[in-house]
Amino acid sequence: MIARILILSLALLLLVGCYNSADTPSIGSSTGIAVTPIATVIEDVVGNKGRVITYDVVVRGRVTSSDEERNIYGGLFVEDETGALEVRVGLSPLYSTYPEGLDVALHLRGCRADYYRGVLQIGADALGEYVETITAPESVERVIRRGVDVKPREATEMRLGDLTPEMCGRLVRVDALRAVASTSIDTLAGETLEDAVWCGSALFKGPLGDSIAVYTSDYARYANHKLPLGDVAITGILEWGDYARSGKECYHIMMRYERDCESM
């Protein structure tokens, strides 16, 4: 009887071990591939527009984005101590599988890499010049290996005038901002900033007159909520690009949640 119990216990342990190894994909150095800083990958891609990564490279960081409030769609932003990047993923929702703060390892061999709005983008190679969205679940699982630890990163607190292009893709917090314009209003019809909502592009200025824009998707849960008019601090993913197709470029912050904007 004792021998039978021991055999059954051993079998149960083996089953549990197999189950855990399947549910927790191997990440980082356990694959036998050294972890590469994101900044190193960024440097390697500079000047190689639309290149396909043909060598084994693994980066590791924490998820900083969330599509829970639908302002971010199809993108998973990952940041380590050296930089940040975006993986284009065609699955939705992402926040339940890859919550903000999740430790992930990205296996980039075979992916196409390029820049969009100042951010390193990683995606599928569709034999074209541009990064394509990774759509097949098995391909997503091959590229993105989930850990078990969830610990949201603290946003890097910056003054507007101290932002640099190298920070694009990172989670930042910029304070002392005030809204000065919005594409959600029709000034010719007499509408003012008091009528503005988040939907569209809003332009904010800092104490020294520098500008930063916030774009809000039509699909965001808070798209039709009022734009705050007082001094605010805004947290989000830093990008660089054209403001409302005006031909004028500036930094942008992509908010994840409405609470990313705080009154001061």
Q: Is the pLDDT of residue 25 over 90?
A: no
Residue intervals in the chain for CATH 2.40.50.200:
25-150
Task: Give 80-138 pLDDT, tens digit per residue.
Answer: 999 999 999 999 999 999 999 999 999 999 999 999 999 999 999 877 778 999 999 99
Residue 242 to residues 39, 53, 103, 213, Cα–Cα distance (Å): 25, 28, 32, 9
Question: For residue 156, what is the enclosing H or E element?
Answer: strand 156-158
143 vs 200: CA distance, rounded Å: 32
Tokens 């500008």 belong to: 211
Domain 25-150 -> CATH class: mainly beta
Task: Give 237-252 pLDDT, tens digit per residue.
Answer: 999 999 988 889 999 9
Q: Is the pLDDT of residue 180 over 70?
A: yes
Listed residue (54, 231, 81) closest to 167, CA to CA:
81
Give the range among 34-48, 61-75, 180-194, 196-210 with minimum mean pLDDT. Answer: 34-48
Q: Where are the alpha helices (DSSP H) in the chain?
A: 2-23, 38-45, 137-143
pTM of the model: 0.87
76 vs 90: CA distance, rounded Å: 10
Q: What are phi and psi of 224, to 5 degrees?
A: -100, 15
252 vs 264: CA distance, rounded Å: 20
Architecture of the domain spanning 156-263:
Beta Barrel (2.40)
